Amino acid sequence: MSDFSSLRIEHPPSTLREIALEKVRNAIIAGIFQPGQRLVERVLCEQMGVSRTVIREVIRHLESEGLIEVIPNQGPAVARIDWDTARQIYEIRSLLESEAAAACAQSITRSGLEELRMALENLETGTHAENPAAMLDATTAFYKTIFTVAGKHIAWEIVDRLNGRISLLRVLTLGTGERTRTGPKRMRDIYDAIAAREPHEAAAACRKHLREASEIARLILTKPENGPA
Amino acid sequence: MSDFSSLRIEHPPSTLREIALEKVRNAIIAGIFQPGQRLVERVLCEQMGVSRTVIREVIRHLESEGLIEVIPNQGPAVARIDWDTARQIYEIRSLLESEAAAACAQSITRSGLEELRMALENLETGTHAENPAAMLDATTAFYKTIFTVAGKHIAWEIVDRLNGRISLLRVLTLGTGERTRTGPKRMRDIYDAIAAREPHEAAAACRKHLREASEIARLILTKPENGPA
DNA sequence: TTTTGTAATATGGTATACCATAGTATGGTA
DNA sequence: TACCATACTATGGTATACCATATTACAAAA
């Protein structure tokens, strides 16, 4: 059998619904729509130039993702996040990411390692350029590569979704000076452990990274009663 | 401040959408709609007596949950599950459930233990009565209690959702004689370890339970090329 | 001035209508 | 008989219209 994989036609978001889904999700993750903010359907329709049918389906999807919460008798709003929730999310990520990093360290190939290195470089470039969007993309690509190499796409779906909810914190971190500076450093540690094919080291580096991130979130969420944001 | 919590009005599924969501989800989990089966919107509308608007929003929600997959240029269908996916799901559940059981064993109270014992009894009653629905409910209640006591509601949401996808296997297990008989036995092991406040034992019992369940799934999914169901 | 009742408005819930297209059937021609 | 073109049909994508209700604004009465 010949290899037709190169003929595969990508499936870019083609329907209005898929386009709108991406836009609204990105707007929430980027903090353009802030946690707690009401998302009035007709307003979104006008902003995006689509019908309520489309917007409502998008809302249902994001509700199921946990980025939107629907308040009974009131309607949809951007989800809020409190410390208890954030703590649990970091804990779950720590379990899944450390496991994936360990598996990745055992099975990574030369080309996978190259992919990982590129993501890391993009991250470091973005960090120097103070480009938050590029940093986010590079971080996502880095972890996605780890999970893909480890053959754990289900776990990646979960982590990716959890990351969306964690991003609801970002708008708060901008207000404070608490930005994490150590992130890229820790990710290089993870990379080095994987490159050295040291599963135990890789897992430990993941856990350390997330423990630090979690600590920063705790400071933000418990101090000035940012609580339910 | 007085305690008005007893005045709280429960929020039963009130909108047609919420009712339809429950019904369709249950129908998929119960195997009434089989994996791979097309879910034609207008047919569902007629069956449930609601409009397409409602059905489409339900489909979006269940799509995001992974119970429905939408085939481009064709439409929605009940999701199929293959061994690779099932394997990953069992692996993730093993991580999360063992962690929760350990935490539960450390912090459980007398009333929590009582709740757990009742779920276990319901499970054993349902097993003797050959009542699959009751067994499923009791199993869900058992694990939900464990996660709740451990203070891990986010992890519970994830496990609950993964269980929905695993239930896509059930329709296959009915065909074979491979039903698990050891399930209730293993859950009693978990209960005993928690009651004895032995975190390590509880986690080990969880892992053993899931390793067995995973093995049964492997036999079903890899043998007669039930593959993508 | 405060309170209460009523009218107006904002907003989500639901149904329906219309459109585009992929798949299918049908018929005609080589 | 085989193949191709055309018409038809099934089905998802999108927009719009209407309804019910919660909230708000306002006015009148105590």
Residue A64 touches chain B, beta carbons under 8 Å: yes
Instruction: Give pLDDT, residue B72.
Output: 86
CA B99 to chain centre: 18
Residue A95 touches chain B, beta carbons under 8 Å: yes
Task: Answer yes or no: are the C-beta atoms of A28 and A78 closer than 8 Å.
Answer: yes
* Cα–Cα distance, B169 to B29 (Å, whole number): 9
* Cα–Cα distance, B28 to B67 (Å, whole number): 8
Residue A25 touches chain B, beta carbons under 8 Å: no
Q: pLDDT grade, residue A11 (50/70/90)?
A: low
Q: What is the pLDDT along chain B (229 residues), one digit of tens a residue?
A: 444 444 444 566 689 999 999 999 999 999 999 999 999 999 999 999 999 999 999 999 999 999 999 998 889 999 999 999 999 999 999 999 999 999 999 998 888 899 899 889 888 888 777 777 888 888 899 999 999 999 999 999 999 999 999 999 887 766 555 556 666 788 899 999 999 999 999 999 999 999 998 998 898 888 765 544 4
Protein-covered nucleotides on strand C (Cβ within 7 A): 10-17, 21-23
Instruction: Give pLDDT, residue B185.
Output: 83
Q: pLDDT grade, residue A4 (50/70/90)?
A: very low
Q: Would you say how long chain A is, in residues?
A: 229
In this predicted structure, the answer to whether residue A131 has a pLDDT above a threshold of 90 is no
Name the token pair of B204. Answer: 């080990």
DSSP string for A143-183:
HHHHHHHTT-HHHHHHHHHHHHHHGGGHHHHHHSS---SSH
Q: pLDDT grade, residue A226 (50/70/90)?
A: low
Chain B residues with CB under 8 Å of A89 CB are 154
Q: pLDDT grade, residue A5 (50/70/90)?
A: very low
Q: Hey, CA dihedral for A148, A150, A153, A157, is it positive or negative? A: negative
Quickly count: other Cβ atoms within 10 Å of residue B51's Cβ.
Answer: 11
Quickly count: other Cβ atoms within 10 Å of residue A153's Cβ.
Answer: 14
Task: Answer yes or no: are the C-beta atoms of B139 and B187 closer than 8 Å.
Answer: yes
Instruction: Give pLDDT, residue B7.
Output: 45
B130 to chain A, closest Cα gap in Å: 32
CA distances (Å), origin B129, targets B40, B122, B125, B169 = 36, 10, 6, 22
Protein-covered nucleotides on strand D (Cβ within 7 A): 10-17, 21-23
Give the pLDDT confidence of A156-210 residue by residue, as tens digits. Answer: 999 999 999 999 988 776 655 555 666 678 889 999 999 999 999 999 999 999 9
B88 to chain A, closest Cα gap in Å: 7
Residue B114 neighbours by CB under 8 Å, 6+ apart: none
Give the pLDDT confidence of A103-126 residue by residue, as tens digits. Answer: 999 998 888 899 899 889 888 888
Instruction: Give pLDDT, residue B229.
Output: 43
Pairing of strands B68-71, A68-71: unpaired
Round and report the angstrom distance from CA (A75) to C1' (D27): 30
DSSP string for chain B:
----GGGPPP----SHHHHHHHHHHHHHHTTSSPTT-B--HHHHHHHHT--HHHHHHHHHHHHHHTSEEEETTTEEEEPP--HHHHHHHHHHHHHHHHHHHHHHHHH--HHHHHHHHHHHHHHHHHHHTT-HHHHHHHHHHHHHHHHHHTT-HHHHHHHHHHHHHHGGGHHHHHHSS---SSHHHHHHHHHHHHHTT-HHHHHHHHHHHHHHHHHHHHHHHHSSS-TT-
* Cα–Cα distance, B44 to A192 (Å, whole number): 53
Q: What are phi and psi of B31, to 5 degrees?
A: 85, 10
In this predicted structure, the answer to whether residue A229 has a pLDDT above a threshold of 60 is no
B158 to chain A, closest Cα gap in Å: 8
Instruction: Give pLDDT, residue B90.
Output: 97
Task: Answer yes or no: are the C-beta atoms of A166 and A88 closer than 8 Å.
Answer: no
Q: For chain B, which domains are there?
A: 16-78 (1.10.10.10), 83-222 (1.20.120.530)
Give the pLDDT confidence of A49-64 residue by residue, as tens digits. Answer: 999 999 999 999 999 9
CA angle B59, B87, A120 (to 5 degrees): 85
